[in-house]
Chains A and B, each alone.
Chain A
Amino acid sequence: MRQSRKKHAVLILLLLLIALVSTGLMTKHSKIEKRSRMTVVFPKNEPEDLSALQDGIRDYAYDHQVKLDVWYKEQMSAEELKKLIKEEKKNNSKGVVLVYPENYLEKQADGYVYKDVLAVTDRMQKEFKYYASFAESKEKAYRLPVKTSVLEQVKNGKKKEILLENTYKLGYESMKMKTITLKPVKLDRETMESGKYDALFAG
Chain B
Amino acid sequence: MKNRKISIRLVFPVVMSASIAVCIISCMLLFSYYFSTYFQKDAIEKTGKQKNALAQSLEKEIDNMNDLTNSIYYQEIKEYDVSGRLFSEEMQQRINRETDTIYAAALYDANGRDLWHSENLENMQKEEIRETTWFRQAKENIETINYGQKKLLLNGESCYIYEISRYVEYIDHGSMKSGVLLLDYYTDSMDSVLQHYKNQKSAYCYLLDADNQLLYHPFEKQIVSGLYEEKTIKVALASKNYKIYRADGERWMLMRQQIGYTGWNVVLVSSMSSLDLENRNLYSVAWFTLLLVGVILIFLDILLFRSFTNPVYRLLRTMQEFGKGNYEVKAEEEGIGELKNLSAHFNIMADKLQKQMEEIRENEREKQKMEKKLLQSQINPHFLYNTLDSIIWMIRSEEYEGAGEMVSLLAKFFRTSLSQGKDMIPLEKELEHATSYLAIQNIRFKDKFEFKVKADPALLKYLCPKLSIQPLLENAIYHGMEGMYEDGEIEIHIYDKDGNIGIDVADNGLGMTQEKIDYIMHNKVVSSKRGSGIGVRNVNERIQLIYGEEYGITITSELDEGTTATITIPKMEETDETE
Could you tell me which residues of chain B, from 157 to 192, have a CB within 8 Å of some CB in chain A? 157-160
Given contacts A59-B221, A198-B160, A199-B221, is CB(A151)–CB(B154) below 8 Å? yes
**What are the interface flags for A10-31 relative to B under an 8 Å C-beta threshold, 1 for contact and 0 otherwise?**
0110011011001100110110
Could you tell me which residues of chain A, from 163 to 203, have a CB within 8 Å of some CB in chain B? 166, 168-169, 172-173, 195-203
Q: Residues of A contacting B221 with CB < 8 Å?
A: 55, 59, 168, 199-200
Q: Residues of A contacting B247 with CB < 8 Å?
A: none
The yes or no answer to B222 lying at the interface (CB within 8 A) is yes
Shortest beta-carbon distance, A160 to chain B, in Å? 17
Give the contact stretch, choosing among B54-62, B262-270, B285-293, B467-475.
B285-293
- How distant is the Cα of A11 from the Cα of B300 in the complex, in angstroms? 10
Taking a contact as CB atoms closer than 8 A, the residue among A22, A155, A197, A198 that contacts B288 in the complex is A22
A59/B222 in contact, CB under 8 A: yes
A18/B158 in contact, CB under 8 A: no
Which partner residue on chain A sits nearest B160 by CB separation? A202
Interface residues on B, range: 35 or more
- How distant is the Cα of A197 from the Cα of B154 in the complex, in angstroms? 13
Given contacts A23-B289, A26-B284, A26-B285, is CB(A202)–CB(B158) below 8 Å? yes
A202/B159 in contact, CB under 8 A: yes
Q: Residues of A contacting B201 with CB < 8 Å?
A: 63
A148/B155 in contact, CB under 8 A: yes
The yes or no answer to B1 lying at the interface (CB within 8 A) is no
The yes or no answer to B458 lying at the interface (CB within 8 A) is no
Interface residues on A, range: 35 or more
Q: Residues of A contacting B226 with CB < 8 Å?
A: 169
B281/A148 in contact, CB under 8 A: no
Given contacts A59-B222, A200-B225, is CB(A148)–CB(B154) below 8 Å? yes
Provide the main secondary structure of the chain A interface.
helix
**What are the interface flags for B219-253 relative to A under an 8 Å C-beta threshold, 1 for contact and 0 otherwise?**
11111111100000000000000000000000000
Counting chain A CB atoms within 10 Å of each CB, which of B158, B200, B225, B289 scores highest? Answer: B225
Given contacts A155-B154, A203-B157, A203-B158, is CB(A197)–CB(B224) below 8 Å? yes
The yes or no answer to B193 lying at the interface (CB within 8 A) is no
Taking a contact as CB atoms closer than 8 A, the residue among A8, A15, A169 that contacts B227 in the complex is A169
Shortest beta-carbon distance, A144 to chain B, in Å? 10
Q: Residues of B contacting A8 with CB < 8 Å?
A: 303
Could you tell me which residues of chain B, from 119 to 160, have a CB within 8 Å of some CB in chain A? 149-152, 154-160
A26/B154 in contact, CB under 8 A: no
* Subset of 12 A-B contacts with CB under 8 Å: A15-B295, A23-B289, A26-B288, A59-B222, A169-B225, A172-B227, A173-B227, A197-B224, A198-B160, A198-B224, A199-B220, A202-B158
